[in-house]
């Protein structure tokens, strides 16, 4: 089937950028992105592209080019489903917070609602594409729901997981390492796969478009994230050993990454990985493995999370220790709150947990992040439920100026690797701080030697200092 009309349910970090790029590259396809969240849709429609709900370098230009031509954002979910030949489901699949699988399994409530809505509304044949990250065999449930409508409408279910990383979403979508499409082995399944291949082949070389069965595709997404996160936990484990042995983790990363079998990427030691997906997807993998009785497999992958939690805690504890075992009433300036640079996303950011830990120690935390709003920062803290919202506002304040945030601070903690931090006037910051002026660089971002020359005491991750 030649596709001329697509709809995507879910206008989030994946749905928005993914569909914007498809619309840009395929002007002959009408792409409608729908969401229940009216505020989010209004923001996607804002004439000022600086106000889009997702900050991604290059995204504003693409939206400007395609919006109103063949890219539309709407809250009319029914209308968009009915009109589309192909429907992407790109809704959130967070870790369950209740009932069976609480804290481990994925909450598929929103996926099921989408499937039921598609089943209810459709009057013509559709290809339904899982874009969200899902536990392996979710397509079975979606197929079940779609099969028993009694309307005679035929559905094909594909898995097409997304591998973009935030902050580089546009480049990742325009030049992906690979696109993965899983479908039914039947002739109809093959046709559905081909329809989606044809869309991507408009701009992606066909040897980068991999096709598999549905289950391999669903599972590969979880496994890709688990492998990536595992590399970070591995190097973070080594960072602690480096701190005891005068080895330097940056040098170790370089030395092992030069081996082409290991490769240099994803070996940057840090305060711990964050983001909405690594933890959730590994927990999901662990949960699935346990549900099949695969205890050793589950324990193996769970260790990636245990190590990451340890790294966040260790960073906070190190600050306390270095400030003479108490931070009560001391001003700690946070540079960065986002889970990585070039995004306004804060989900599972290490900064949240480090702040929480320091607030328990009664620190006076001041935060500056170039892209994250005060509202978001308080929402993140309040969500943890560690203390009353009032207490969070007493203990932590957000300041929109990096020099102000550092003024009179006992210490600075770098939590996000924003490039602009490197270019600050560090002499000016040093002069404005209490002495000894300490910096805890959770990203090994700053030039430690230069800072030491100014007079700072610098603690980096994974070196003896």
Q: Which of 7, 26, 114, 277 is catalytic?
A: 277
Q: What angle do CA 35, 40, 44 make, to 5 degrees?
A: 100
Which one among 155, 339, 421, 440 touches ligand UGA, defined by CB under 6 A?
339
Q: Report how far residue 327's alpha carbon sits from residue 413's, in angstroms, rounded to the nearest whole number.
A: 13
Tokens 């066909």 found at:
206
Q: Which residues pair with 113 in a beta bridge?
A: none
Does 300 interact with ligand UGA (rule: CB under 6 A)? no
| 103 labeled binding residue | no
Q: Report how far residue 283's alpha carbon sits from residue 268's, in angstroms, rounded to the nearest whole number.
A: 22
Does 228 interact with ligand NAD (rule: CB under 6 A)? no
Beta strands in 341-444 (DSSP E): 364-368, 396-398, 411-414, 438-441
* Alpha-carbon distance values, 293 to 226, 227, 304, 320 (Å): 19, 21, 19, 41
Binding mask 122-141 for ligand NAD (x = CB under 6 A): ----------xx--------
Q: Report in angstroms how near the CB of residue 33 gets to ligand UGA at its nearest.
A: 18
Could you tell me how far CA 38 lies from the centroid of its own chain? 22
* Alpha-carbon distance values, 273 to 50, 226, 290 (Å): 27, 12, 24
Q: Report how far residue 10's alpha carbon sits from residue 87's, in angstroms, rounded to the nearest whole number.
A: 11
Does 238 interact with ligand UGA (rule: CB under 6 A)? no
Token pair of 456 as six digits: 């700072």
Does 81 interact with ligand NAD (rule: CB under 6 A)? no
- Per partner kind, with CB cut-offs from 5 to 8 A, the member of ligand NAD, ligand UGA, none near residue 336 is none
Residue ranges in 199-228 that form contacts with ligand UGA under rule CB under 6 A:
225, 228
- Per partner kind, with CB cut-offs from 5 to 8 A, the member of ligand NAD, ligand UGA, none near residue 113 is ligand NAD
Q: Report how far residue 336's alpha carbon sits from residue 309's, in angstroms, rounded to the nearest whole number.
A: 19
Residue 45 in 3-state DSSP? coil
* Alpha-carbon distance values, 216 to 219, 380, 393 (Å): 5, 34, 46
Q: Report in angstroms how near the CB of residue 153 gets to ligand UGA at its nearest.
A: 31
C-beta closer to ligand UGA: residue 301 or 339 = 339
Q: How is the beta sheet containing 396-398 ordered, strand by strand?
A: 396-398, 364-368, 331-335, 411-414, 438-441, 457-460
Q: Report in angstroms how near the CB of residue 161 gets to ligand UGA at its nearest.
A: 8
Of 106, 82, 72, residue with least CA distance to 92? 106
Q: Report how far residue 98's alpha carbon sits from residue 104's, in angstroms, rounded to the nearest whole number.
A: 10
C-beta closer to ligand UGA: residue 80 or 106 = 106
What is the length of the chain?
465
Stretch of 159-167, 295-303, 376-384, 407-415 contacting ligand NAD, by CB under 6 A: 159-167
- Per partner kind, with CB cut-offs from 5 to 8 A, the member of ligand NAD, ligand UGA, none near residue 132 is ligand NAD
Does 267 interact with ligand UGA (rule: CB under 6 A)? yes
Has 277 been annotated as catalytic? yes
Does 442 interact with ligand NAD (rule: CB under 6 A)? no
Stretch of 99-107, 116-124, 186-194, 268-276 contacting ligand UGA, by CB under 6 A: 268-276
Binding mask 160-199 for ligand NAD (x = CB under 6 A): --x-x-x---------------------------------
Contacts of 344 (CB under 8 A, 6+ apart): 54, 55, 338, 371, 372, 373, 376
Token pair of 49 as six digits: 């592209």
Does 11 interact with ligand NAD (rule: CB under 6 A)? yes
| 73 labeled binding residue | no
| 274 labeled binding residue | yes
Q: Is there a contact between 166 and 340 (Cβ–Cβ < 8 Å)? A: yes
Does 113 interact with ligand NAD (rule: CB under 6 A)? yes
Does 283 interact with ligand UGA (rule: CB under 6 A)? no
Binding mask 16-45 for ligand NAD (x = CB under 6 A): ------------------xxxx--x-----
Specify binding-site residues.
10-15, 35, 40, 91-95, 132-133, 162-166, 221-225, 261, 268-274, 277-280, 339-340, 347, 443
- Catalytic residue numbers read 277
Residues contributing to the site for ligand NAD (CB under 6 A): 9-15, 34-37, 40, 77, 90-93, 110, 113-114, 132-133, 162, 164, 166, 276-277
Residues contributing to the site for ligand UGA (CB under 6 A): 133, 162-166, 225, 228, 232, 266-268, 270, 273-275, 277-278, 339-340
């Amino acid at each position: 089937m030649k596709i001329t009309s697509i709809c995507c349910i879910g206008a989030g970090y994946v749905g928005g950028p993914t569909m914007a790029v498809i619309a840009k590259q395929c002007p002959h396809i009408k792409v409608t992105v729908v969401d229940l969240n009216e505020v989010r849709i209004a923001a996607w429609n804002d004439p000022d592209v600086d106000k889009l709900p997702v900050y991604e370098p290059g995204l504003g230009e693409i939206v400007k080019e395609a919006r109103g031509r063949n890219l539309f954002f709407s809250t009319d979910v029914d209308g968009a489903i009915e009109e589309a030949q192909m429907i992407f489901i790109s809704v959130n699949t967070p870790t369950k917070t209740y009932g069976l699988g609480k804290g481990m399994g994925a909450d598929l409530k929103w996926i099921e609602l989408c499937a039921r809505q598609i089943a209810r509304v459709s009057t013509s044949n559709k290809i339904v594409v899982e874009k969200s990250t899902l536990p392996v065999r979710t397509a079975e449930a979606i197929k079940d729901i779609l099969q028993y409508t009694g309307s005679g409408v035929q559905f094909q279910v594909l898995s097409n997981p997304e591998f973009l990383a935030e902050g580089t979403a546009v480049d990742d979508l325009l030049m992906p390492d690979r696109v993965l499409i899983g479908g039914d082995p039947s002739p109809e399944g093959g046709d559905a796969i081909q329809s989606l291949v044809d869309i991507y082949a408009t701009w992606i070389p066909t040897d980068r478009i991999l096709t598999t069965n549905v289950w391999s595709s669903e599972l590969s997404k979880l496994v890709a994230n688990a492998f990536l996160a595992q590399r970070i936990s591995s190097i973070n484990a080594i960072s602690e050993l480096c701190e005891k042995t005068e080895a330097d983790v940056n040098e170790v990363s370089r030395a092992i990454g030069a081996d082409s079998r290991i490769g240099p990427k994803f070996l940057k030691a840090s305060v711990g990985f964050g983001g909405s997906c690594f933890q959730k997807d590994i927990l999901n993998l662990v949960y699935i493995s346990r549900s099949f009785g695969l205890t050793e497999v589950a324990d193996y992958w769970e260790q990636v999370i245990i190590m990451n939690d340890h790294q966040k805690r260790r960073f906070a504890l190190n600050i306390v220790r270095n400030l003479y075992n108490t931070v009560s009433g001391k001003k700690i300036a946070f540079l960065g709150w986002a889970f990585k640079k070039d995004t306004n996303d804060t989900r599972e950011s290490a900064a949240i947990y480090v702040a929480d830990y320091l607030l328990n120690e009664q620190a006076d935390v001041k935060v500056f992040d170039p892209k994250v709003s005060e509202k978001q920062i308080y929402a993140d803290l309040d969500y943890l439920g560690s203390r009353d919202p009032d207490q969070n506002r007493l203990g932590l304040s957000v300041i929109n100026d990096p020099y102000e945030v550092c003024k009179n601070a006992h210490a600075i903690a770098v939590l996000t690797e924003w490039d602009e931090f490197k270019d600050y006037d560090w002499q000016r910051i040093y002069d404005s701080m209490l002495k000894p002026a300490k910096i805890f660089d959770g990203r090994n971002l700053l030039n430690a030697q230069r800072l030491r020359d100014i007079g700072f005491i610098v603690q980096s991750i994974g070196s003896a200092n």
